[in-house]
A = this chain, B = another copy of it.
C-alpha cells in the first residue's frame, strides 16, 4: 500500500501552473463526525472511536459519517470491515491521486473525485481527494485532511431542515454532496476566466516575454483541469444511468442536473483551451509585428543615410585633380545632391507604405 501512495505522488508531482496548488497536506490526525437525521429528528456529534459509528449502520434514519484525514489505518480498517467495504475500495480511498470513478457493489456505491476549496488562511485554492460510500441508509465521506471542505452548505441545509433534504433518503444526500463538489469546480473556472481576461488586456497593450510564461502556465492549468474533469463526467453520467437499487427513481433528475453541470464545466474548459491557443497565436504574431517595425526603422534610416554618406565619402577623397573641389558652389551642390537623394528615398518609402 505504501508503495502505491508514493508512486502516485511522484507522478502528480508535476504540478500545474499558477492557479492550482497541490499544497502540503498536514497530517493532523483523523476526525470523525456523524450527522444522523430523518424528517422528524436530527443529531450531530463528533466521535473518537470507530466503534461509535457502527450502530448507525442499521438504523432506519439517514446517517452521514464524515471522516477527515486518512492516516489512522486502524480506524479506517475497522470502519471498512464493519460497513462491508471491499479491501480494494479501502486501498483506493487512502491512495490519493485516483482518477475520478464510481464503482457499484451489491450493498454500496463507491465514488471518488477531487474537490477544490479556498484555504481559510491565505485564500489559496486547495485540491483534495474525496471518497463517498453510498449505502442503503448511510453515506460515508472520506477527506484527505481537516483543513476545509465544501460541504458546509449541505450541513446547514440538514441542520435547518431547509429544502427537501431531510425528507429524502441517503441517495439524495450523496447527490447533495456531489453537487457541492462539482460547484467547487466553478471556483477555479472563475479564477481562470479572470486570469484570461487579464492576459488578453495585457496582450493588447504590450506583449512582453513575461506574458508568454503566464500563457504557458494557464495552458498547463487547463491541461491538468481537463485531466480531472473528463473522468468526472463519466462518473456523473454513469451514476445517472446506473440501475442500482440504491438510487431511487426520483433522484435521477438531480443526478441529471449534476451531469449537466459537469458538461458545462467541460465546455468552459474547452473554450478556455481554444482561447489560450488563440492568445498564443496573437502573442507570436505580435512579436513578428514588433520585429517588422524594428526592421523597418533600421531599414529606413540605413537606406537614407548610406547613399549620402557615400557622397560625403567621395568628396572626402584626396585626389590631386578633383574638379568639383574648385567649383564655387561645389559644397552646396553636394549638399543639394544629398537632399535630393533623401527626398527620393522618402518618396519611395511613402509609395511602399512603409512610413
Query: Which A residues are within 8 Å of any B CB, using their own CB?
Result: 7-8, 10-11, 13-14, 86, 88, 91-92, 98-99, 101, 103, 183, 186, 189-190, 193, 196-197, 204, 206, 209, 212-213, 216, 219-220, 223-224, 227, 253-254, 256-257, 260, 263-264, 267-268, 270-271, 274-275, 278, 280-292, 294-299, 301-303, 305-310, 312-328, 330-331, 334-335, 338, 353-354
Hey, which chain B residues are within 8 Å of A338, CB to CB?
Answer: 314
Hey, which chain B residues are within 8 Å of A253, CB to CB?
Answer: 86, 88, 103
Hey, which chain B residues are within 8 Å of A354, CB to CB?
Answer: 294
Least CB distance, A174 to chain B, in whole angstroms:
16
Hey, which chain B residues are within 8 Å of A290, CB to CB?
Answer: 292
How far is it, in angstroms, between the C-alpha of A338 and the C-alpha of B317 when the chains are bound? 13
Say whether A297 contacts B301, CB under 8 Å: no
Pairs A–B under 8 Å by Cβ, sample size 27: A11-B193, A14-B197, A14-B271, A14-B275, A88-B257, A103-B256, A206-B353, A212-B285, A212-B289, A216-B281, A216-B282, A285-B287, A288-B288, A295-B295, A297-B303, A298-B302, A298-B303, A301-B307, A305-B307, A312-B314, A312-B317, A315-B318, A317-B331, A318-B322, A319-B331, A321-B331, A322-B331
Oligomeric state, in copies:
5
Question: Looking at the complex, which one of B92, B254, B270, B306 makes contact with A302 (CB distance below 8 Å)?
Answer: B306
Say whether A285 contacts B283, CB under 8 Å: yes
